[in-house]
Structure 1
Amino acid sequence: MKRWLPSPWLSLGIFGGWLLLNRSLSPGQVLLGVLVAVAMPLLMAPLRPRPGPLRRWGVLALLILRVGRDVVRSAIDVARGVALARVRPPRGAFVVVPLELRDVHALASLAMITAVIPGTVWSELAPDRSALLIHVFDLDDEAAFVAHFKRDYEHPLKEIFE
């Protein structure tokens, strides 16, 4: 089964997306959707990395809750910063965060976390993966931000993946 469908959930998602985008359940669209849903994962299989080892599921659950909390808090802070921009302009800044993470799955997870939190943008990863450049919408204290980022995101990811 894995030979023909290396990623059954991905194939199902592609098939469903195909039908939704075409807004048709005609036999031709269903057949074309099945062909694309089977062919794409087969063609892209060599490009997919091996799944990463998840070591601490409890830490992962806490990390997900922490990121959800931070998304809500940051969204409120950014909205407040935009609303009060004439009174107190935001102090946007680039921050260099030294990294201890080396696992590619952990770094990818960190990139997604950084992208989803309002007010932060993953700007650059050092070629040797030793530092990360992040743009922050409104920065009060750089040292406090780096400590928060490492404590709340990097260290849990290190426990989960390394």
Structure 2
Amino acid sequence: MIKRLLPWPLLTLSLIVMWLVLNRSLGLGQIILAVIFGIGAPALLAPLRPARPRVRHPLTVIRLILAVGHDVVESTIAVFLGVLRERRQPVRSAFVIIPLELRDPTALASLTMITTVVPGTVWCELARDSSAMMLHVWDVPDEAEFITFFKRRYEQPLIRIFES
């Protein structure tokens, strides 16, 4: 019963604190509203939460995080330099469709977040059957090479983490 009422106690506490901070009041009415909101919102939204994913290879998670961190720094520099040299040498931006083997919903969400975090790539669309995703890439001299890099660098580790 308590798990049903408080499915995520830390979220409940965070919502209560957030309510009180945003309303700048510790009055009894605000405290009651904060508790109602803090308990009610997570309990009502619990059925919408996806199943908890099972991470199969924790070391691959660490390697992927380090790779994404490296790519964020490298891409930030590349985009900055691309902006500086654009008049002399225009960038070759393009929409790239990447075929996907990945099917796990959590892994797909992770892939879209990784794509959004790395400067120079923007996730645009996911096919209805999750068989491909469309990205806009800031500078892509060779589309086939980029697809191979993307799949090896991001998709394969996510398959290993969530599906294998």
TM-score by length of 2: 0.90
- Check 1:12–1:73 CA distance in 2 against 1; reply closer, same or farther (3 A cut): farther
Aligned letter for 1:72? Answer: V
* CA-CA distance at 1:127 after TM superposition: 1.4
* CA-CA distance at 1:26 after TM superposition: 4.0
Partner of 1:100: 101
Structure 1 residues 73-82 or 29-38, which shifts more?
29-38
Please list, as runs of the form range in 1=range in 2, the aligned pairs for 1:101-120 lying within 5 A after superposition. Answer: 101-120=102-121
Count of matched residue positions in the alignment of Structure 1 and Structure 2: 162
- Extract unaligned runs of 5+ from structure 2: none
* CA-CA distance at 1:99 after TM superposition: 0.4
- Check 1:36–1:126 CA distance in 2 against 1; reply closer, same or farther (3 A cut): same
Partner of 2:73: 72
Aligned letter for 2:9? Answer: P
Partner of 1:32: 33
- Check 1:12–1:69 CA distance in 2 against 1; reply closer, same or farther (3 A cut): farther
Partner of 1:142: 143
* 1:118-144 per-position Cα deviation (integer Å, ceiling 9, x unaligned): 111111111111111110011121122
SS of the aligned residue for 2:136 comes to strand
Partner of 2:47: 46
Q: Distance in 1 between matches of 2:6 and 2:122?
A: 36
Aligned letter for 1:122? Answer: W
- Extract unaligned runs of 5+ from structure 1: none
Aligned letter for 1:91? Answer: R
* CA-CA distance at 1:83 after TM superposition: 2.4
**CA-atom RMSD in angstroms:** 1.6
- Check 1:12–1:87 CA distance in 2 against 1; reply closer, same or farther (3 A cut): farther
SS of the aligned residue for 1:2 comes to helix
* 1:11-42 per-position Cα deviation (integer Å, ceiling 9, x unaligned): 23323332343344444333322221111111
Partner of 1:87: 88
SS of the aligned residue for 1:3 comes to helix
Q: Distance in 1 between matches of 2:88 and 2:58?
A: 45
Aligned letter for 1:86? Answer: R
Partner of 1:22: 23
Structure 1 residues 150-159 or 25-34, which shifts more?
25-34
